[in-house]
Chains A and B, each alone.
Chain A
């Protein structure tokens, strides 16, 4: 380590030698930085998980434009949309297909299993509106009370899910009806439900008697290949011109949902603050360690000042210490953070995992904030007056 730092700074690695001289204190400081890293990793992991869970259902569908109610901030939120708007949209020459999407939460009861599934009601004759993993089995939904079940849903065992085939279907109770799952797809539990389920729009309307075929939750549109989505969306906004609707590209709808979850929903705000608190804790820990270290070595620093060392030298020492703390504290933080996220992911089936992006972001943040703490701590160096040495 000494040689690496000596090569890096072109001088004796005084910061490293100072820190490692008192091993107990050094280990405590590294533990503090690692703890702050773990805090940030867990909060970031949960935030990422929320983003993954929010965007996941959008990946089940294949659409260019989505028409929703004005208050539909999220996929499963907002008023219904009159189906007539879809017919109006067909007036645009670039709109080649449209379908209504019905969404509601339905309980799944089977033996001891009692979970809540986000249920999508779709037109089984239009496979072009769903992702390939669902489109391959969508024809089976033409039979009433048949479902395609999320094999990664919370509460459904892997073995039970793996056994679901047309020859060995799984029956379960929901909304006082018996549904039969002939096929599965890969979804996963999220923050709003334990998993997902696809049924035909007719089965959906049987499950939710209060809903009307004339009022789906969203209208999905497909455009002619090569058509500009933004231009068509703008044309549709003018054509339909109704303030009770939001007409957006499908991609924009997904991103706006994500922003809404992260910045307007309490969970997103809380996790965001969690990250901020983790950063502040790390900043305070590194500042305290460096500040105490500067105070402990004021006499030595004053001696160096007397010898003719200038401000850049002292800044270099403290930045060196900050880098050592940041880098060495990050490594155990990464290991522990990965372990905690893995355990939490297994316990909750939420998409919680350490990603390279998170690791790189937290590492860069740790280094930047450690150096920032170091720069702040150097203010105490002003107290090192070499004239006081005599």
Chain B
């Protein structure tokens, strides 16, 4: 594997269902993401974007083809190995998925404590710093119920970034946000990711984001049909 690539997938196929109901959803996906890149994965609903994201994010087992994540082969990896690999990734979901009974600070602390041996005060300092970077220093002790949609998504960004992950996987992170909040969140991801050398793979329908991407992949019917590199 090329060490400058964080992900290299070759001939990745995937099926859902069994027996006669078995249906192929991904066909011969070849994909390489350079370290520190900001890649947007586009495509119509049902094209397989989310399946790609879950496979590269170690949330599903690879069925066919070769996928190397940070030098580790995902095909045949055990659940325990996938769990350890996931600790080096950051996830941002369409719905923020913050824990309702934890404050903003505590939600972000969870992003640090996933790695064993991190002292509590160190985790708190890192979480407060991450929330400061996303402009929420004055909302540390707020519960998610008392934050706006944009603020919640920024907490989710802070949670994804606080552990200094090697890669961020984001699924429609701006879908539920207004125009200004959406731009804020994407700019944050791009800026903070670039500063830390974090690779970002972002699934979206939002055309306003495209000009911020280093590379745009378009998926249709389970196949990558176009790859566009921005200058």
Contact = CB atoms under 8 A, between A and B. Distances in A.
Are A and B physically bound partners?
yes
Interface in B75-123: 80, 83-89, 91, 93-94, 97, 99-102, 106, 109-111, 113-114, 120
Interface string B112-145: 0110000010000000000000000000000000
B22 to A, nearest CB: 18
Contact of A300 (B89, B97, B171): B97
B50 interface: yes
Interface residues of A, number: 25
B205 interface: no
A390 B100 contact: no
Interface stretch (B23-31, B52-60, B178-186, B210-218): B52-60
Contacts of B86: 306-308
Interface stretch (A6-14, A211-219, A325-333, A355-363): A6-14
A17 B89 CA distance: 26
B62 to A, nearest CB: 13
Interface in A264-322: 297, 299-300, 302-310
A6 B109 CA distance: 13
A386 interface: yes
Given A300-B97, A307-B111, A308-B84, A12 B106 contact: yes
Contact of A387 (B54, B94, B120): B54
A202 interface: no
A299 B50 contact: no
Contact of B114 (A297, A307, A387): A307
A63 to B, nearest CB: 65
Given A21-B100, A390-B93, A306 B57 contact: yes
Nearest to B50: A390
Contacts of A18: 99, 101
Interface residues of B, number: 30
A389 interface: yes
Contact of B91 (A14, A21, A297, A306): A306
A20 B109 CA distance: 19
A6 B102 CA distance: 14
B114 A14 contact: no
Interface in A166-189: none
Nearest to B143: A21
A303 B93 contact: yes
A307 B97 CA distance: 12
Interface in B46-78: 50, 53-54, 57, 59-60
B91 to A, nearest CB: 5
B109 A309 contact: no
B91 A12 contact: no
A379 B98 CA distance: 23
A381 to B, nearest CB: 13
B6 to A, nearest CB: 17
26 contacts: A10-B120, A11-B113, A12-B102, A12-B106, A14-B101, A14-B102, A17-B102, A18-B101, A21-B100, A299-B97, A300-B99, A306-B57, A306-B86, A306-B91, A307-B114, A308-B85, A308-B86, A308-B87, A308-B88, A309-B83, A310-B80, A386-B59, A390-B50, A390-B54, A390-B93, A390-B171
Which A-B residue pairs are the 3 nearest by beta carbons? A308-B87, A21-B101, A308-B86
Given A14-B99, A297-B99, A387-B60, 20 more contacts: A11-B113, A14-B101, A17-B106, A18-B101, A20-B101, A304-B114, A306-B59, A306-B86, A307-B86, A308-B85, A308-B114, A310-B80, A310-B83, A386-B59, A387-B59, A389-B91, A389-B93, A389-B97, A390-B50, A390-B54
Interface of A: 6, 10-12, 14, 17-18, 20-21, 297, 299-300, 302-310, 386-387, 389-390
